[in-house]
Structure 1
């Protein structure tokens, strides 16, 4: 950033030149003259020397080099090209050009009036006589030195300091502390694996037929092609209607409907089927689709593809041998699993904890009709996070579809909000009821390798955005769903750490029979008087510990949205949109033809596209009023 040493002020490059041209401060004028005396003679020396040589050359009247060969390259530098200056800014050349005008004019040939006018506007320096702004040619390579190459091979280039520090931290040994009880996660017996169960469940085929329930290998391959690679059900049905095709191929089905019937009825599935129940709310009936939660846990826990990756006991990981720096990465390395394992071991030793992770989010399906769905997903903490986060691994299972109604037939807004919250918790309480008793007493489950353990499915976490967190915990909008931080201080950068909300106080307030007293008690601890939240009776569950950070909205999209809003406030929205439209196309660069100010409901991909071009849009834009944008660009 250019700085005037006379007055001590910082300027943009253009403002720096105007400052020296318009200032009347003696200190600034003296500093300007000093910089010109230091920088300009070195810049113009080669040009003036070349002009004098061209005046002596009588073979060419237009200033060309003729047959003497190309002229040597000009090394541009100094203040005119923003090089070799301590202040690194631009310099107003008008005063110096006026002093050099007569000398330059005496060395120039005859030019037309139009060319003379152009030369006066450009500082009376003829740029056409010398070579262009091409870089100087590379010198011819010297012959290789064998001794120098041998020395270079022996010398290893040291990596950067920061990189060495990171790589050293990644290579360091992880010190593991196992759970002290040897009975934790113990196996009871060995049973048939899931593959054996599948083989037993296949019916309708002949003995020894590995392609059952299909009759032959050809029957199976054609059915698989029709479902996975075929052109479509209609085209496949028309193909089989051709006379003799089905008989010559020896197929056991004659259309796509019969293939679907074989798959649905004769192929066993480890994941349970959906059920449908009706919920009556204020005279209106709504449908809830859900699966048996305990069977979903068994399906994930017993999947053969996860057998080698399941974790059965908690651990503590440390970065040093003294166990002073603890490391957290997967769920079994956290504090919750360790503390819960200790609590369960005191009551029933030999337990295997199965952490239940619930995810829910109301999703809009269409833009023009407002259709939406309310899916609820389930996974287990025994699976590593690398499997849970990949949809292709199928580590998540769709547990239920909740009603998406906003109950418009209830006219009172306060009653409508309370009823929507009560409907949500009533549905979730029904869906998760199968894991209530097994969480306390345990249930035998077989993993994918056939080993049976006494498992305790315990509710561990609920993943959702802030609206979901408010709905699940019952706190009021605008407050923290986990701790007791005051509403006005939420989001402030304070060193004060507020304690988590008291689960016992919340349960005591929600269990008060009288509605008036219950409302008063809930208002005292700043929660809503929800009728029987779904987490109220779940064993070893603490809902205020179970809320996870919303990484997508609060961290990724939240930071980007704040940054875009900040840039729009600092600059003009019209200018930002105009620069977006004028952005030249390029690889991995999206051109927003209508700008970014009018966009809404952005996806993660669109946020990433904006991040790629945001710095390029504002890097050379001055702030209103001539203020320096250095801090904004660095941020």
Structure 2
């Protein structure tokens, strides 16, 4: 009886008539009954495909390999299916060989890809640090909400409703001038249709000025400088300067009182460990380092330390012409997570004040520079004066959790570049601002103790009294009265933090290393440019198609892009010691960038520092350098101690204050009239901006379900009066647990257990290091990863596990040295083959303010369910084989695909019938431009999920009118090399000793679907295929690189 064939526009399950085949597909997706029926039908097809007999493939020695078992077998493995060997078409060939699975090292389920534990062991501070007072206070938002209700105002007051508030919010944040706002409000369409309650710019800003403001208000103090230059009237010239500032204690109170930081703030120090024995420290936020722990020991019982982080940097305001400048001083606190502090949108760093920028023409040129230094310290001392009493006696503050604590604001860190670090510490710029080493000894690899603040203060005091202490000249001091002498518990020399941007990227790398290495290479810059141009393109790498010698303006982005490939540029081009020096510097830079450190990674940082000093003498031998006594090279000596003291260097990069200049200096200056009173106008503009941000956060806190479009998402604020959560968040403190010995794993606990024999008390927590990340490989017993066979054929590869993954271009051999062609199957559709966390897994137990609410886990999982993402429709839906061969450069495509199909069928006659039709030059094949792969999460590098893009697109003609040719974009990737048994294996753990084990370099030529003339489902091919060309295999690892 012939089978009934339904038209394409009828559902094969419920027989509903639809418009077309696309409508049938949507109908099946949306109807649960039809969806289940389709899944069952597909499972039966897979069973039928398997019943065709075993797939026999030729091995390297002519042996028969076992039957391929890929992910398409998982659907029927649980079914009771009896198959008679006599019915199998290949039964006469004897019993099948047993499945061979290559053994791989066990993966520690408690350790992430980067080697960090998924749950850190915590040693709480033994005292009663961060204790809340007996009273329960109200946060600023609670007080504001209470006052609003008492006045009988609506939630949106002084605006009529949410729509009018959204308009006002846009007018303020859009950057429109007051003249433009006036014009907009006078438009007929605005008056007739929008009808806002404010009809002019004046009325609009009256409402803005009615918004609640913070406690830190602006004040100005006038200082008069009496110079040594005599004026025309015979008197000494005078100059009056303005110091605009806010009370730093009020700034700290606003930060501590902000409910938006509830889930990202801590009140006591702790020590984190990677092991239960407490031998491997973890360093991240300031609270996990040593400074806070040590200072807490000097505080009263129950004190809450607020580590003050200052940053200052002079910036130019004028564009193209003019000499207007500003000198902002920023303030934040180390209680807030560094991931939040670094986000300008979180407003966790506030503007403390503006230092005066003046030429001091009332002084002679001989004294002018010194008086400028003294003016800086005098202004900073007046700006920070409230911290003296607050740091000594403490101040009661309401915290985001509603509890009242006695807070002690203590200066902990100061972010500045080298010239400003010398200005802050009071020394000359050719001396180290942190240690007393001489200017002629800075190139030596020897650690030097930090300067003693008490000794430096005493030396400066003796110098101002007319004495000549030898330390004054020995340490290169300047005759100033430092602003930090009266600040309690402050050590300015340990507070000066690493400056990755100016010291490493711009300093050691660009200004020194690139120049040295270029001179050490034969043909110099011409050879370096040629090598940069020859680098293969990659989605994560910048291609310097014109080299680097002609680039005139460099930014931090260019430095970082150069660093990614510079080792490959210099490798093999000169003395091996030059390459080793470059490698040591780059290793140091990348280790210094770590967002999470351990004792082991800090040891590696130190080893890179020692290697740099070991090999750098090659530049003296080549007569490129005479010495290494430059300040930025010496600064690397202080990175490791600073990280152990204050936390990782990414929390103190000068890139952050430079980004803040845009909001707090340049935009504010652009809103002024640019006349002599521009600083006053800037402070007024900033106060309005902060009021709008504050009101937006209040609305998000008060009615998160009603606020749909705010600068700060509602999901980041803690529950307000009308919003009560029904579930416990991951960031909440775990329940107390029994005390266990320090050597045993300790479950989560609320507080540190009381003393047990002086040993460190450790508790297991996920509060700061993230919850365990599930990986894309199936580890559940409900969804096991089936073993899959692989086989090797001459001149062709079939691999059911090799996953194309982007990487920096490896030195695998000369360009174009491809040996074999490969059709990859399963690598794009088999779960469990991508190394790294599942995209649906939780990334962190804390969500910083300003972050958006992620999509539901099931939606994310659905997008990345195969470990990759691909376009719904192919970019090239109907290519001929001839086009693939010529346009994509896939010269052996036909042969490789034919071999692949033969290996799928083996000697099975029924399978062979499915692929009996030969591949013709005009056969139509659908191809894709690219696919995306999620990279494994490495928290040392970033806590964000990184996505790599693998391209495979041919050359084309550019857009009109030039119609310039656009070259082909074929990604070079690391792929898992098929083993001799061609076994599909789970993702392997990273082997530090053999980082390239099992990997090989390949270029992806085509990403395509199996031609429709072949029944992909019956053949077990459930996803796209990839045609790649292998580069020369790795043989011996180059020790120099």
Which residue is 1:318 aligned to? 273
Change (3 A) 1:593 1:375: farther
- CA deviation vs aligned residue, 1:450-489 (integer Å, no higher than 9, x gap): 2111111111111111111211111233222222333322
Q: Distance in 2 between matches of 1:206 and 1:371?
A: 45
Q: Distance in 1 between matches of 2:69 and 2:490?
A: 70
Q: Specify which of 247, 258, 265 is matched with residue 203 of structure 2.
A: 258
Higher strand share: 2
Q: Please tell me whether the aligned partners of residues 391 and 410 of structure 2 are also in contact (alpha carbons under 8 angstroms).
A: yes
Q: Distance in 2 between matches of 1:164 and 1:582?
A: 43
Q: Secondary structure at the match of 1:461?
A: strand
Q: Distance in 2 between matches of 1:235 and 1:367?
A: 24
Change (3 A) 1:280 1:252: same
Q: Secondary structure at the match of 1:307?
A: helix
Q: Specify which of 385, 404, 408 is matched with residue 452 of structure 1.
A: 404
Q: Secondary structure at the match of 2:408?
A: strand
Unaligned runs of 5+ in 1: 1-139
Which residue is 2:67 aligned to? 146
Q: Distance in 2 between matches of 1:181 and 1:429?
A: 33
Q: Does 1:289 align with 2:244?
A: yes
Deviation at 1:427, TM superposition (A): 0.6
Q: Does 1:558 align with 2:507?
A: yes
Change (3 A) 1:336 1:577: closer
Q: Distance in 1 between matches of 2:333 and 2:127?
A: 22
Deviation at 1:177, TM superposition (A): 1.8
Q: Specify which of 277, 292, 308 is matched with residue 337 of structure 1.
A: 292
Q: Secondary structure at the match of 2:116?
A: helix
Deviation at 1:294, TM superposition (A): 1.2
Q: Please tell me whether the aligned partners of residues 194 and 450 of structure 1 are also in contact (alpha carbons under 8 angstroms).
A: no
Change (3 A) 1:145 1:475: same
Which residue is 1:480 aligned to? 432
5 Å-filtered alignment, 1:345-494, equals 345=300, 349-365=301-317, 366=319, 368-369=321-322, 371-413=324-366, 415-494=367-446
Number of equivalent positions: 484
Which residue is 1:298 aligned to? 253
Q: Distance in 2 between matches of 1:232 and 1:419?
A: 39
Q: Does 1:185 align with 2:131?
A: yes
Q: Does 1:241 align with 2:186?
A: yes
Q: Please tell me whether the aligned partners of residues 121 and 274 of structure 2 are also in contact (alpha carbons under 8 angstroms).
A: yes
Deviation at 1:249, TM superposition (A): 4.7
Which residue is 2:497 aligned to? 548
Change (3 A) 1:162 1:468: farther
Which residue is 1:126 aligned to? none
Deviation at 1:404, TM superposition (A): 2.8
Deviation at 1:437, TM superposition (A): 0.3
5 Å-filtered alignment, 1:119-268, equals 146=67, 155=101, 158=104, 167=113, 169-171=115-117, 173-182=119-128, 184-200=130-146, 207-228=152-173, 237-242=182-187, 246=191, 249-263=194-208, 265-268=209-212
Unaligned runs of 5+ in 2: 1-55, 59-63, 74-96, 228-237, 584-1039
5 Å-filtered alignment, 1:571-590, equals 571=521, 572-573=523-524, 575-576=526-527, 579=530
Deviation at 1:416, TM superposition (A): 2.2
Which residue is 2:717 aligned to? none
Higher helix share: 1
Which residue is 2:452 aligned to? 502
Q: Specify which of 239, 246, 270 is matched with residue 214 of structure 2.
A: 270
Q: Distance in 1 between matches of 2:364 and 2:158?
A: 56
Greater C-alpha Rg: 1
Q: Secondary structure at the match of 1:568?
A: helix
TM-score, normalising length: structure 2: 0.42
Q: Does 1:567 align with 2:511?
A: no
Change (3 A) 1:585 1:409: farther
Change (3 A) 1:563 1:157: farther
Which residue is 1:611 aligned to? 563
Q: Distance in 2 between matches of 1:573 and 1:370?
A: 39
Change (3 A) 1:225 1:146: same
Q: Distance in 2 between matches of 1:236 and 1:325?
A: 59
Q: Secondary structure at the match of 1:299?
A: helix
Q: Please tell me whether the aligned partners of residues 441 and 456 of structure 1 are also in contact (alpha carbons under 8 angstroms).
A: yes
Q: Distance in 1 between matches of 2:163 and 2:68?
A: 70
Q: Specify which of 477, 480, 484 is matched with residue 531 of structure 1.
A: 480
5 Å-filtered alignment, 1:28-107, equals none
- CA deviation vs aligned residue, 1:133-155 (integer Å, no higher than 9, x gap): xxxxxxx9879953665899994
Q: Please tell me whether the aligned partners of residues 188 and 453 of structure 1 are also in contact (alpha carbons under 8 angstroms).
A: no
Q: Please tell me whether the aligned partners of residues 580 and 591 of structure 1 are also in contact (alpha carbons under 8 angstroms).
A: no
- CA deviation vs aligned residue, 1:24-58 (integer Å, no higher than 9, x gap): xxxxxxxxxxxxxxxxxxxxxxxxxxxxxxxxxxx
Deviation at 1:332, TM superposition (A): 1.3
5 Å-filtered alignment, 1:111-122, equals none
Deviation at 1:438, TM superposition (A): 0.9
Q: Please tell me whether the aligned partners of residues 129 and 296 of structure 2 are also in contact (alpha carbons under 8 angstroms).
A: no
5 Å-filtered alignment, 1:587-602, equals 596-597=548-549, 599=551, 602=554
Q: Distance in 2 between matches of 1:560 and 1:358?
A: 27
Change (3 A) 1:628 1:384: closer
Q: Distance in 2 between matches of 1:628 and 1:352?
A: 51
Q: Distance in 1 between matches of 2:316 and 2:166?
A: 39
Q: Please tell me whether the aligned partners of residues 312 and 353 of structure 1 are also in contact (alpha carbons under 8 angstroms).
A: yes
- CA deviation vs aligned residue, 1:516-553 (integer Å, no higher than 9, x gap): 11x43652662525332110111111222212122222
182-191 vs 432-441, which deviates more? 182-191
C-alpha root-mean-square deviation of aligned residues, in Å? 3.9
Q: Distance in 2 between matches of 1:507 and 1:628?
A: 44
Q: Distance in 2 between matches of 1:558 and 1:160?
A: 43
Q: Distance in 2 between matches of 1:388 and 1:209?
A: 32
Which residue is 2:786 aligned to? none
Q: Please tell me whether the aligned partners of residues 396 and 405 of structure 2 are also in contact (alpha carbons under 8 angstroms).
A: yes
Change (3 A) 1:480 1:218: closer
Which residue is 2:83 aligned to? none
- CA deviation vs aligned residue, 1:118-168 (integer Å, no higher than 9, x gap): xxxxxxxxxxxxxxxxxxxxxx98799536658999947737999998738
Q: Distance in 2 between matches of 1:286 and 1:169?
A: 54
Q: Secondary structure at the match of 2:363?
A: coil
Q: Secondary structure at the match of 2:406?
A: strand
Q: Distance in 1 between matches of 2:66 and 2:499?
A: 60
